[in-house]
Structure 1
Amino acid sequence: MQKIQMNKGQQGFTLIELMIVVAIIGILAAIAIPQYQDYVARSQMNRVYGEISALKTSAEEQLLRGATLSGALSTVGFTESNLVNEGASTVSKSGNDYVIEAVLGENASVAVTGAKIQLIRTPQGAWSCNVKDGTANNGWDDSFIPVGCSNT
């Protein structure tokens, strides 16, 4: 009679091999999750900057017609955004400058909630961007500021 030998090559993983895999996944997650959250915060700041930058054309047109800009963002054509706290966002005159200000809130990342993006128009017609940062203890980082904007 012939003996049947069992193949011992397919016994599975040892406990130490499984623990090493779990440790590697944990290390990768510890690095990837904060990086992803920073990416989301930066992209939200850039999205709101783009949304309110589109309002410059409407503001210019109204100023050329002699209108005075003040009030809610809707006065310059802003419809809505799920990242902007519309109750706190305004168009106003500060000295001789006009300021379009969007305050991040609603569905914005905790790290950028409360941050203010201001588009400032001088009497000469030049536009600049200023960001008033959010709460530092919520995870604010200056890398969230859109390119071309300053921080105060």
Structure 2
Amino acid sequence: MQKQQGFSLIELLVVIGIIGALTAIAIPQYQKYQDKAKVTAAIATLTNMRSVVEAEIMEEGAFPQNDKKNKENLGIPDEVELTDITGVEGNMKLDVQGMPKGNQVILARNKEGKWKCTQPTDIKVNGCESKSTNKPTP
């Protein structure tokens, strides 16, 4: 009786099939995890700026302007875009780094002083709504 040495071709193919199946499941999950981390970082940046914007509204009576000098004085990064809508209403927008251009996290302030967050992914992130849920249904 001979001792068996090594693996048969069938055994190797089964192992490769199992690894392929696990990879097919793991890669999309990892990409979702990366997108969620990128969006969370953008939300954190904007959330930190929210108190600065609120202080500016209290002092000046208006949403801060989007000029470089004003943002520098307030400590707001250049990447953050400020949009004044009606004086006390406005938006703060930030492109999500590592995602295609146009994927933005938007923190919007209404006239009552409430903030609403929207983000570009379909993944639930820190209570921030997905842009796809804001689209009208046909």
Choose from 59, 66, 78 the match for 2:76.
78
Q: TM-score, normalised by structure 2?
A: 0.76
**Is 1:149 aligned to 2:137, yes or no?**
no
Alpha-carbon shift at residue 28 of structure 1 (Å): 0.9
Q: Which has the higher helix share?
A: 2
- TM-score by length of structure 1 reads 0.70
Paired-residue identity, %: 27
2:116 partner amino acid: S
1:104 aligns with 2:103: no
Separation in 2, partners of 1:72, 1:22: 57
Residue in structure 2 matched with residue 136 of structure 1 by the alignment: none
Letter in 2 for 1:8: K
Q: 2:50 aligns with which of 56, 63, 66?
A: 56
Deviation at 1:146, TM superposition (A): 4.5
- Rounded to whole Å, the distance in 2 between the matches of 1:15 and 1:150 is 48
Change (3 A) 1:150 1:19: closer
**For residues 93-138 of structure 1, what are the alpha-carbon distances to aligned partners after superposition, in whole Å with 9 as ceiling and x for unaligned?**
1235121111224xx145xx4212111112222211133x3xxxxx
Displacement of 1:72 = 5.5
Question: Is the 8 Å Cα contact of residues 70 and 90 (structure 1) preserved in structure 2?
Answer: no
118-127 or 36-45, which deviates more: 118-127
- For 1:90, the equivalent position in structure 2 comes to 81
Query: Unmatched 5+ residue regions in structure 1?
Result: 1-5, 81-85, 134-140
Equivalent in 112, 126, 132 of residue 114 of structure 2: 126
Counterpart for residue 115 of structure 1: 103
CA contact (8 A) 1:45 1:144 kept: no
- 1:149 partner letter: E
The answer for unaligned runs of 5 or more in structure 2 is none
Q: Report how many aligned residue pairs link the two structures.
A: 127
CA distance in 1, matches of 2:118, 2:109: 11
